[in-house]
Amino acid sequence: MSDNFLALATQRRTIYALGKNLPLAEDEVIDLIKEAIRQAPSAFNSQSSRALILLGKEHEQFWELTRAQLKKIVPEENFHGTSQKLDGFAAAAGSVLFFEDQEVVTRLQEQFAAYADNFPVWSEHSTGIAQYAVWVALAEKGIGANLQHYNPLVDEDVQRTWNIPASWKLRAHMNFGSIMAPAGEKTYMDDDKRFVVAR
């Protein structure tokens, strides 16, 4: 039992080939994502993380909005490749958009002035932890995921389309779905260069 977490941590990978056949009912996936974020720690238990969970057509709409924005900035000759990549993301079952509520960050800065510089940093830590928690929770259920960053390019579209409060700052986007092909090989740097142990 003791190595369950590390087995799961190893199982969590970036999966790009995702499909729409989830091994769980949509409602169970939604509950799983909510609970993973709810249980994630945050500075002063400020719970600054927010999420928009998109499924089916709503998920596809996100990628259409992104495609339209990218069309404005990607050179014509590269756009076909970009568009194909987006088709791959749209093929997933759904996605989670991770936000951090800046209203929470500002309130903490006012309340605890001595730590004012730290709260934005800790908010970034919190979103990273929340993202990882969801990624691992999905992996445990055999659901693949990958992490994308089309913010801030898509921020206004997202805010308008899904009626997201202005104080929610988009930090990352996680596609999830059935695993159509395994993750690629992963290499690891030397422990000697990475860890210092003193005892």
Ligand X SMILES: Cc1cc2nc3c(=O)[nH]c(=O)nc-3n(C[C@H](O)[C@H](O)[C@H](O)COP(=O)(O)O)c2cc1C
Which residues in this chain contact ligand X in the complex, by CB under 6 A?
13-14, 146-149, 183, 186
List the structure tokens of 106: 């500002």
| Alpha helix (H) residue ranges in the chain | 4-11, 26-38, 56-73, 76-90, 102-111, 118-140, 155-161, 191-194
Q: How far is the CB of 144 from ligand X (least distance, A)?
A: 10
Nearer to ligand X, 186 or 193 (CB): 186
Q: How far is the CB of 157 from ligand X (least distance, A)?
A: 18
Nearer to ligand X, 121 or 165 (CB): 121
List the structure tokens of 91: 């093929």
Q: How far is the CB of 183 from ligand X (least distance, A)?
A: 5
Nearer to ligand X, 188 or 195 (CB): 188
The answer to whether 197 and 169 have CB atoms below 8 angstroms apart is: no
Nearer to ligand X, 24 or 147 (CB): 147
Q: How far is the CB of 12 from ligand X (least distance, A)?
A: 7
The answer to whether 138 and 92 have CB atoms below 8 angstroms apart is: no
In the block, tokens 């998109």 appear at 54
Q: Which residues contact 185 (CB under 8 A, 6 or more apart)?
A: none
CA distance 124 to 38: 16
Nearer to ligand X, 57 or 143 (CB): 143
At 93, the amino acid letter reads A
Q: How far is the CB of 11 from ligand X (least distance, A)?
A: 10
